[in-house]
Amino acid sequence: MNQAGGAIFRLLGQLARRFAVFPWLVRVVFGQPVAAVMGLTWKAAFRFRLFLVVSVLLLASVVALPLLIKDDGTARGFTQILLTYTLTTISALLGLSTLWLACGTLARDIEECQIQVVAVKPVARWQIWLGKWLGLVSLNAALLALAGLCVFVLLQWRATRLSPAEQEVLHREVLVARGSARAPSLEADIDHDTDQVLKERLQKNPVSNADLNEVRKQVREQVKAVYQVVPPGYMREWKIDMGSGRRLAAGRPFQVRIKFNSADRSPSGTFNGLWAVGAPPKTPVQRLEPMRLAPDTFHEFEVPSSLVDDTGILTLTFLNGNDTALLFPLEDGMEVLYREGGFALNFARGLGIIFCWMALLATIGLAAASFLSFPVAAFFSMGMLTLALSSGTLANAVSEGTLGGYNAEKGTPGHTAVDTVAIPVFQGVLAVINLAKQFSPIESLSSGRSITWGQLALAFSQIVLLLGGVFAVIGVAAFSRRELATAQGTQ
Amino acid sequence: MPEAASRAPSTPAETVVTVRGLTKVFKDFWGRAKARAVDNVDFEVRRGEVFGLLGPNGSGKSTTVKLILGLLNPTKGRIEVFGHSTRHVATKARIGYLPEESYLYRYLNSHETLDFFGNLFHLPKDQRENRSEQLLEMVGLSQTRTRAVGEFSKGMQRRIGLAQALINDPDLVILDEPTSGLDPIGCREVKDLILALARRGKTVILSSHLLSDVEDVCDRVVIYYGGKIQAQGTLGDLLAKPDSVRITSPILPRETMERLLEIIRRDVASDRVRVDTPTQNLESYFLNVVQAARQAAAETSGATSGARVAPYLRGDGDGKAGGEKLLERLTLPQERPAPAAAAAPAETVDRQKLEALTHPTAPAPITPAAAAKPQELEQANEKLSNLLGKPKE
């Protein structure tokens, strides 16, 4: 508790220092007018009680959610779900309010004509835009810090009420920053094998060019399945390079995180798992106690870090003692986790990535308001957000190569004229969306994974600088060219 | 922008605003012309003059002002302000603008409003504080400095709008319908302020459809109709009747009058000579009534009369050295060119002078002595209230 309390006070101190310095910094770096416009955004948020309302909603969600959610009954499960739900709710609430405020702060100024009095002062249009943006992102930072602090305190408080054994599990698997090591990628091998199998098939049964892509896809899936599957009575071995994990673990055990699927159901709902760790003669072998594990979900168990060989390789072997084949997905079927750092800083970095998302939303909202009226800008921004959130549909269309879908039974050709245009467009849109969506701080935090400074820097570069930069350039250009006195005022 | 840098020495004939072939056509979404608000307009505004844009509603005055300020882009033509394009940011440090409505942030109070705009002009904190206090005093809002602007009456909003336009001690002041929404005292104060600014060598562009505003303060005007300039020149040139003369004197004995008329009739036909008693205008009458009421210490929750132009706008403030002030007083014209109107307004009502002037002609004006009579004052107040509408609380 002392440790947690200390961390909280340190965080509070840092926040207080940061916010006292921030306006001064803006004034020094961007000038007095930018700082004034930024301050105006803060005053508007307080005077219109937006800050109060959003704060209350955020805090209510942090307090109310634990009462509503259902978990697996373990402290670990509850904490994971709590982290996921609260951080998702905070992101959603903040995201919507950011878009709304971003559209309103500029579009309303133009519609209600206040901008006419501001724009005739010796302040460039880009400075007005930047001031508004800085106001929005600093407001977001404050709200996010407030909500994040509440979640952090709540988690720490709940942890203190658990038994020492449960606390240990919690701090080992959830309230921790863990690095990850995986087996080398098999994509190149799969592609190679796919090409070979496809070649053999085509020699036997030629197919038309139109179906070639589909056939290749099907063949690849089959080849991939071979790499993933462990048939009944067979063994599968993974050799994982632990890299710096061995040093960072410092004698602490690793956590092996696995997930498998099965085509058949077991009457008990679980399957036997026989695991061995180590590769003789380089290291001793340790057989783990037989486990009964449910499919389609993640499981974690500990293995000693001393079983890593001299070259840093950890060898894991699985024997399938069941009557059915088990399939370990290449993406997330096998992973070894090791302690890299504490939870507090990891949590702060996770909030940092969420903040990058908010900064992007503020940029999108302001950019839309730079050339659209308030309702249209709000609609446009919400549309963009919806598009980003529904990128799974786009991804499906891209992976199938068609909007209509391919009917394998009827042999209906999947490709239409629309697809030739739509699919490349979707691919482009997806690539852009993935620049922001490829980061998953909430999932990482709830599974106790480390969010590195590198990831945070990459998120900032991709989300704020690259994507945000593009929207900002569009927004500033539109705002600079816009005639600001066409509105007649709606005050 | 540093103020010193923006105060480049100006020659007396310096052109502050140049407008050449200015045309503004408003278009719809499809690019089709909707309205030709300004049509091929040319004029120049020179340093130190009060220039009036006069015309009925929708004639293109406000559009011209917004084009000069860079808030609208001209369809054709060229505008230069202090020799620069209207988008030149540094030039804006020399401009003060009061829009036709007080487009202010409703959630800021008066002091915050002035502080915010002071920041946009890069004014240091002490100067912002100093000027805000002086301006609030000047516009009569020093007692409401912590009230949100959104709670103000329209007149009070105009006052704070005027204050923000002057926070930078501008060289060019553009006032769009400055007296709209103001009570007669406020109107008088605004006109006094314009005259005070002009005395300091500031240039003022005044857009109005109120003829009395323009007539009282402007040196030169352009008259708009349908987006075009219909007439322009000095008020003297435009309003003078070169074939007539007017003599004004105190009341004369009947015999003297008859002798005078006899002499005049020797040269001019009887039907072309007119003798009448000049009447006071409603504005002067109203100011007298309010002055009397103020002496009776009536309270108000609204704006109080500022009356005094802020010292820094008179050139007294902002720590100017005594020598500089003296130099300014010596170099600036002490007398304004007399407006063409016969009754040039005094900056403040000199009640003793007024009494002396009006005493012999007992019937019309209310003297302070008369104001002391509560019944008459009440009647006059009621009459004016009916005429001007009840003031907002």
Instruction: Give residue-wise pLDDT tens across range A24-56.
Output: 888 888 889 999 999 999 999 988 888 889 989
Whether A327 is covered by a domain: the verdict is: yes
Give the strand pairing for A271-277 and A291-293.
antiparallel
Query: Among residues B179, B199, B349, which one has the least CA distance to residue B281?
Result: B349
Whether A109 and A199 map to the same domain: the answer is no
Whether A335 and A357 map to the same domain: the answer is no
Per CB distance under 8 Å, which residues of A are interface residues toward B?
A: 31-33, 35-36, 39-40, 43-44, 47-48, 112-114, 116-124, 483-486, 489, 491
Tell me the average pLDDT across A347-371.
96
pLDDT of residue B160: 92
| Closest Cα in chain B to A486 | B72
Q: Closest approach of chain B CAs to the CA of A487, in angstroms? A: 11
Q: How many domains does chain A have?
A: 2
| Closest Cα in chain B to A127 | B120
| Closest Cα in chain B to A480 | B87
pLDDT of residue B300: 52
Whether A107 and A244 map to the same domain: the answer is no
Whether A205 and A351 map to the same domain: the answer is no
Q: Which long-range contacts (CB under 8 A, 24 or more apart) does B328-332 make?
A: B328/B200, B332/B199, B332/B200, B332/B201
Whether A148 and A205 map to the same domain: the answer is no
Per-residue pLDDT at B173 exceeds 70 = yes
**Single-letter code of the amino acid located at B370:** A
pLDDT of residue B319: 43
Helices and strands: H and E segment counts in chain B: 15, 9
> What CATH architecture is B12-240+288-331?
3-Layer(aba) Sandwich (3.40)
Of A33, A48, A120, nearest to B71 by CB-CB distance is A120
Whether A210 and A334 map to the same domain: the answer is yes
| Closest Cα in chain B to A124 | B89
Weakest-pLDDT range from A69-78, A169-178, B356-365: B356-365
Of A33, A44, A48, nearest to B120 by CB-CB distance is A33
Instruction: Give residue-wise pLDDT tens across range B217-251.
Output: 999 999 999 899 988 898 888 877 777 888 888 88
Give the strand pairing for A254-258 and A334-341.
antiparallel
Q: Closest approach of chain B CAs to the CA of A42, in angstroms? A: 11
Q: Closest approach of chain A CAs to the CA of B252, in angstroms? A: 55
pLDDT of residue B327: 34
The rounded distance, in Å, linking the Cα atoms of A83 and A94 is: 16
Of B1, B103, B119, nearest to A114 by CB-CB distance is B103
The rounded distance, in Å, linking the Cα atoms of A330 and A183 is: 9
Q: Contact B122/B285 with Cβ under 8 angstroms?
A: no
| Best residue in A106, A113, A121 for a mutation probing chain B (most B CBs within 10 Å) | A121
Whether A182 is covered by a domain: the verdict is: no
Q: Closest approach of chain A CAs to the CA of B33, in angstroms? A: 14
| Best residue in B66, B69, B71, B86 for a mutation probing chain A (most A CBs within 10 Å) | B71
| Best residue in B103, B107, B166 for a mutation probing chain A (most A CBs within 10 Å) | B103
Whether A181 is covered by a domain: the verdict is: no
3-class secondary-structure state, position A180: strand
| Best residue in B38, B120, B122 for a mutation probing chain A (most A CBs within 10 Å) | B120
Whether A321 and A354 map to the same domain: the answer is no
Per-residue pLDDT at B307 exceeds 90 = no
Per-residue pLDDT at A491 exceeds 50 = no
Whether A486 is covered by a domain: the verdict is: no
| Domain range for A72 | 2-176+342-481
Instruction: Give residue-wise pLDDT tens across range A297-338.
Output: 888 888 888 888 888 889 999 998 888 899 999 888 889 998
Whether A202 and A317 map to the same domain: the answer is yes
Whether A151 and A265 map to the same domain: the answer is no
| Best residue in B24, B107, B113, B119 for a mutation probing chain A (most A CBs within 10 Å) | B119
The rounded distance, in Å, linking the Cα atoms of B384 and B382 is: 5
Whether A270 and A235 map to the same domain: the answer is yes
Whether A68 and A146 map to the same domain: the answer is yes
Of A44, A113, A124, nearest to B103 by CB-CB distance is A113
The rounded distance, in Å, linking the Cα atoms of A363 and A475 is: 8
A-B interface: how many C-beta pairs under 8 angstroms?
85
pLDDT-derived band at A141, boundaries 50, 70, 90: very high
pLDDT of residue B364: 35
Per-residue pLDDT at B339 exceeds 50 = no
The rounded distance, in Å, linking the Cα atoms of B377 and B393 is: 21
Q: What is the CATH number of the domain that holds A221?
A: 2.60.120
Q: Contact A182/A330 with Cβ under 8 angstroms?
A: no
CB contacts of A36 in chain B (<8 Å) are: 116, 119-120
Q: What is the DSSP letter of A465?
A: I
Beta carbons of A114 and B105 less than 8 Å apart: yes
Domain boundary among A321, A341, A361: A341
| Closest Cα in chain A to B93 | A122
Beta carbons of B89 and A123 less than 8 Å apart: yes
Beta carbons of B69 and A35 less than 8 Å apart: no
Whether A110 and A236 map to the same domain: the answer is no
Instruction: Give residue-wise pLDDT tens across range A179-232.
Output: 888 888 888 899 999 999 888 888 887 776 657 777 888 888 889 888 889 999
Domain boundary among A341, A370, A387: A341
| Closest Cα in chain B to A105 | B105
Weakest-pLDDT range from A35-44, A113-122, A240-249, B8-17: B8-17
Count of other CB atoms within 10 angstroms of residue A71: 14
**Distance, CA of B41 to chain centre:** 24
The residues pairing with A177 across neighbouring beta strands, listed in sequence order, are A341
Tell me the average pLDDT across B81-109.
93
Beta carbons of B116 and A40 less than 8 Å apart: yes
Whether A354 is covered by a domain: the verdict is: yes
